[in-house]
């Protein structure tokens, strides 16, 4: 299709050059649930629940003002879509200590932008995002509500601690292919779900892989005590073992109430030539890092690292310049600070105009939401007949080597028995309140096939090319 700015097809070299230069609701839907909320979005961003008290206010990225505006979202700039709506849903975890709702909120913002600029061949997307609290019966009920009451034809934006494991069989039974930002194992090991992110296991792999490459010889790996911790830790354990490094695994109850004790424990475990690697949402990781600074522990280990959720300006700003070049974060998506690429400009424009519910502002969660909206839009635009569960799932499966502008690799959904389409990452580090690409080893790097799950996926799907 033709657009005033064809920002989806630039080369990977251009993406990396741009980085180098600058560098997981009050309204109810047509059905109801006592344990969650949902809100349709047509010409406005989806409504989200209020942010937790520890979350920052929405902000914009640092991309310089450019020529790309929200009119680039659709085929008819400024013309609101008025056709029959295409119903899509999402299920995200939102509870104390774990909040992935910024993902579906940014996806809703993307769809609102699309709807305001011609929609999908004239059809608006009606979005039904709901949140859950790690309750299997609640999650199963929400999935059936979305299909049978809200009549969704696709699921775009799922990000939940256990949703994939709860609903995998149901999605297969009704023929829905989910496009999400996964957490639990079934998000990556089943045929009906593919994610834009690596999830906590493979993102933690990347963080551990990075500090080992920089010379750390011992890892203290800590994560929130939620379902799936053993599955997550198995990846970093395998990566460390392959490099001959020792690793000690820890878990913490969230919300965190004893950050000083945790920081002291981790620094002791890692030792002066080791690294502390954290896998928490930003507010919880921040508590540990701030405790380390208060206790003057930040220089007692060789490196600090973190999985993808830490990649948010909220955390970099809160930590301040003392952590410049000291903390290294796996970045599954394009570093945005200082980036003037067309993708960064469009992200910035959508966040400013439609992203009032994105409480965390610029960060990995909002980038995931943007990328989900982008891939879904690309797939939906390829449909020539009715928008049905079958046609939407087929369109997603047909996405191959698609350059999102946000990922190191071309994105492929495919018909594989398992899905880890994003398995190459950046590494970023704080720089005076922003995250920038690490000057050493920060460029696109394949996640190690020492993790047996990565090796198994590449055996069936191969290694996707660099985007471009």
DSSP sequence for 22-62: H-------SS--TT--B---SSSPPP-PPPPTTSPPP----
User: What percent of the chain lies above the pLDDT cut of 70?
Assistant: 86
**Is 218 in the same domain as 286?**
yes
Given a cut of 50, is residue 47 above it in pLDDT? Answer: no
What pLDDT, on the 0 to 100 scale, is given for residue 438?
A: 96
What would the mean pLDDT of 22-31 be, rounded to a whole number? 29
**Does residue 156 lie in a domain region?**
yes
**Does residue 449 lie in a domain region?**
no
Q: Where among 313, 331, 349 does a domain terminate?
A: 331
What pLDDT, on the 0 to 100 scale, is given for residue 460?
A: 96
Residue among 166, 155, 127 at smallest CA distance from 29: 127
Given a cut of 50, is residue 45 above it in pLDDT? Answer: no
Whether 157 and 104 have beta carbons less than 8 Å apart is answered as yes
pLDDT, tens digit, for every residue of 178-200? 999 999 999 999 999 999 999 99
**Is 267 in the same domain as 310?**
yes
What pLDDT, on the 0 to 100 scale, is given for residue 66?
A: 64
No. of helices (H) and no. of strands (E), the chain: 14, 14
Whole-angstrom distance, CA of residue 105 vs CA of residue 91: 11
Q: Where among 277, 307, 331 does a domain terminate?
A: 331
**Is 86 in the same domain as 176?**
yes
| Higher pLDDT pick, 46 / 448 | 448
Which residue segment(s) compose the domain that 192 sits in?
A: 57-198+335-422
Mark 132-171 as b/e (b = at least 16 C-beta within 10 Å).
bebeeebbbbbbebbbeebebbbbbbbbbbbbbbbbbeeb
pLDDT, tens digit, for every residue of 264-296? 999 999 999 999 999 999 999 999 999 999 999
Q: Residue 53, class by beta-carbon neighbours within 10 Å (0-12 exposed, 13-18 middle, 19+ buried)?
A: exposed
**Does residue 39 lie in a domain region?**
no
Given a cut of 70, is residue 49 above it in pLDDT? Answer: no
**Is 306 in the same domain as 352?**
no
User: What percent of the chain lies above the pLDDT cut of 90?
Assistant: 81
**Is 171 in the same domain as 218?**
no
What pLDDT, on the 0 to 100 scale, is given for residue 6?
A: 29
What pLDDT, on the 0 to 100 scale, is given for residue 313?
A: 85
Reported confidence tier of residue 14, pLDDT bands at 50, 70, 90: very low
**Does residue 428 lie in a domain region?**
no
Given a cut of 80, is residue 169 above it in pLDDT? Answer: yes
What would the mean pLDDT of 58-87 be, rounded to a whole number? 79
Q: Read off the DSSP letter of residue 127.
A: E
Given a cut of 80, is residue 312 above it in pLDDT? Answer: yes
**Does residue 135 lie in a domain region?**
yes
**Is 101 in the same domain as 69?**
yes
Whole-angstrom distance, CA of residue 101 vs CA of residue 457: 28
Reported confidence tier of residue 34, pLDDT bands at 50, 70, 90: very low
CA-to-CA dists, residue 55 to 24, 102, 184, 314, angstroms: 14, 11, 24, 8
| Higher pLDDT pick, 61 / 71 | 71
Tokens of 156: 């775009």
Reported confidence tier of residue 363, pLDDT bands at 50, 70, 90: confident
User: Is residue 190 reached through a cis peptide bond, with omega within 30 degrees of 0 on the bond before it?
Assistant: no
Q: Is the dihedral of CA 185, 186, 191, 192 positive or negative?
A: negative
**Does residue 431 lie in a domain region?**
no
Given a cut of 70, is residue 32 above it in pLDDT? Answer: no
What pLDDT, on the 0 to 100 scale, is given for residue 360?
A: 87
What pLDDT, on the 0 to 100 scale, is given for residue 468?
A: 63
What would the mean pLDDT of 359-386 be, rounded to a whole number? 95
The overall pTM is greater than 0.85: no
Whether 252 and 246 have beta carbons less than 8 Å apart is answered as no
**Is 120 in the same domain as 209?**
no
Tokens of 382: 């390829």
Average pLDDT over the chain reads 87
What would the mean pLDDT of 70-84 be, rounded to a whole number? 94
252: CATH? 3.40.50.2300
**Does residue 35 lie in a domain region?**
no
Q: Where among 314, 331, 348 does a domain terminate?
A: 331
What would the mean pLDDT of 394-423 be, rounded to a whole number? 97
Reported confidence tier of residue 177, pLDDT bands at 50, 70, 90: very high
Residues near 90 by beta carbon (within 8 Å), at least 6 away in sequence: 103, 104, 107, 127, 128, 129, 130, 155, 156, 157, 158, 159, 180
**Is 104 in the same domain as 189?**
yes
**Is 217 in the same domain as 126?**
no
Say how many domains are in the chain.
2
Given a cut of 60, is residue 175 above it in pLDDT? Answer: yes
**Is 377 in the same domain as 406?**
yes
**Does residue 288 lie in a domain region?**
yes
**Is 136 in the same domain as 268?**
no
**Is 191 in the same domain as 81?**
yes
Given a cut of 60, is residue 10 above it in pLDDT? Answer: no
DSSP E strands in 326-444: the ranges are 327-331, 424-431, 434-437
Given a cut of 80, is residue 17 above it in pLDDT? Answer: no
């Amino acid at each position: 299709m033709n657009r005033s700015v064809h920002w989806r097809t630039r080369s990977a070299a251009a993406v990396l050059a741009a980085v180098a230069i600058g560098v997981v609701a009050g309204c109810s839907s047509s059905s109801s649930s006592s344990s969650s909320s949902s809100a349709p979005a047509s010409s406005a961003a989806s409504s989200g629940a209020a942010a937790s008290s520890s979350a920052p206010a929405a902000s914009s990225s640092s991309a310089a003002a450019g020529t790309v505006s929200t009119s680039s979202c659709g085929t008819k700039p400024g013309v609101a879509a008025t056709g029959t709506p295409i119903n899509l849903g999402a299920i995200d975890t939102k509870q104390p200590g774990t909040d992935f709702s910024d993902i579906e909120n940014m996806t809703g913002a993307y769809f609102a932008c699309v709807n305001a600029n011609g929609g999908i061949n004239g059809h608006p997307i009606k979005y039904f995002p709901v949140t859950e609290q790690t309750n299997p019966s609640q999650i199963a009920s929400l999935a059936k509500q979305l299909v049978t009451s809200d009549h969704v034809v696709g699921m775009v934006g799922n990000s939940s601690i256990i949703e994939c494991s709860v609903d995998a069989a149901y999605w297969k039974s009704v023929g829905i292919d989910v496009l999400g930002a996964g957490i639990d194992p079934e998000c990556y090991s089943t045929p009906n779900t593919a994610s834009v992110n690596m999830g906590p296991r493979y993102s933690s792999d990347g963080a551990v892989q990075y500090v080992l490459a920089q010379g750390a010889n011992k890892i203290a790996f800590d994560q929130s005590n939620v379902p799936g911790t053993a599955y997550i830790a198995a990846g970093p354990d395998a990566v460390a073992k392959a490099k001959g490094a020792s690793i000690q695994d820890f878990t913490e109850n969230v919300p965190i109430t004893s950050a000083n004790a945790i920081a002291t424990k981790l620094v002791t475990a890692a030792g002066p030539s080791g690294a502390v690697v954290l896998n928490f949402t930003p507010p919880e990781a921040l508590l540990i890092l701030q405790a380390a600074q208060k206790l003057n522990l930040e220089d007692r280990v060789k490196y600090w690292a973190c999985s993808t959720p830490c990649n948010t300006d909220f955390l970099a700003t809160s930590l301040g310049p003392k952590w410049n070049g000291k903390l290294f974060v796996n970045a599954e998506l394009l570093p945005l600070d200082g980036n003037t690429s067309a993708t960064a400009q469009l992200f910035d424009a959508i966040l400013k105009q439609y992203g009032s519910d994105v409480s965390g502002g610029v960060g990995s969660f909002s980038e995931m939401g943007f990328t989900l909206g982008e891939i879904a839009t690309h797939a939906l635009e390829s449909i020539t007949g009715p928008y049905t569960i079958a046609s939407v799932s087929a369109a997603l499966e047909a996405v191959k080597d698609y350059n999102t502008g946000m990922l190191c690799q071309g994105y492929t959904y495919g018909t594989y028995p398992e899905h880890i389409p994003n398995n190459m990452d950046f590494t970023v580090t704080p720089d005076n309140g922003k995250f920038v690409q690490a000057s050493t080893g920060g460029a696109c790097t394949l996640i190690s096939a020492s993790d047996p799950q990565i090796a198994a996926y590449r055996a069936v799907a191969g290694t996707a090319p660099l985007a471009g």
